[in-house]
């Protein structure tokens, strides 16, 4: 069971933390003043250049799939390096565990390649479906 002094200390610390946050918010609102929204402030900022077109455009979902594949193989590399350093210490069991892990990833990569998601230029029948 917790000591009554610990509970009291926790309550006072939490109240003090909340008080400091509220005081900072209140002071920020007073010091900042009223914000005036001008057309320049509402404009899209593109590194000092005038914006070209709309800021909201649709991205092809294939970019996201390719990014996910990259992340998966990046994580695979992150697992592969420590395993390579410690492979002798863990013996044959760690070796076969990593072989199974790599085989599962290889099967996923082959499947992804087989359905044609790694092709940058799609045939016309797939292009219509993806857009």
Whole-model pTM?
0.48
% of the chain beyond a pLDDT of 90? 24
Residue 45 lies inside a defined structural domain of this protein: no
Rounded Cα–Cα distance for residues 41 and 29 (Å):
19
Rounded Cα–Cα distance for residues 83 and 39 (Å):
56
- 87 touches 95 (CB < 8 A): yes
In the predicted structure, residue 21 carries a pLDDT above the cut 90: yes
Residue 66 lies inside a defined structural domain of this protein: yes
Dihedral, 6, 12, 13, 15 alpha carbons, nearest 10: 140
Residue 96 lies inside a defined structural domain of this protein: yes
The larger pLDDT score, comparing residue 127 to residue 62, is at: 62
Residue 69 lies inside a defined structural domain of this protein: yes
Which residue range is the domain that position 112 belongs to? 61-130
In the predicted structure, residue 100 carries a pLDDT above the cut 70: yes
Residue 3 lies inside a defined structural domain of this protein: no
Number of domains within the chain: 1
Residue of 99, 71, 74 whose CA lies nearest to 87: 99
In the predicted structure, residue 128 carries a pLDDT above the cut 70: no
Least confident residue range of 79-83, 110-114, 115-119: 115-119
Residue 70 lies inside a defined structural domain of this protein: yes
């Amino acid at each position: 069971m917790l000591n009554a002094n610990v509970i009291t200390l926790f309550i006072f610390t939490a109240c003090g933390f909340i008080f400091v946050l509220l005081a900072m918010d209140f002071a920020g609102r007073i010091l900042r003043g009223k914000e005036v929204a001008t057309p320049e402030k509402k404009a899209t900022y593109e590194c000092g250049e005038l914006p070209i077109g709309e800021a909201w455009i649709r991205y092809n979902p294939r970019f996201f799939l390719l990014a996910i594949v990259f992340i998966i193989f990046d994580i695979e590399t992150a697992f592969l390096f420590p395993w390579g350093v410690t492979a002798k210490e863990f013996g044959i069991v760690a070796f076969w565990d990593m072989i199974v892990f790599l085989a599962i990833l290889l099967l996923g990569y082959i499947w992804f390649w087989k359905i044609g998601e790694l092709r940058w230029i799609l045939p016309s029948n797939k292009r219509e479906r993806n857009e």
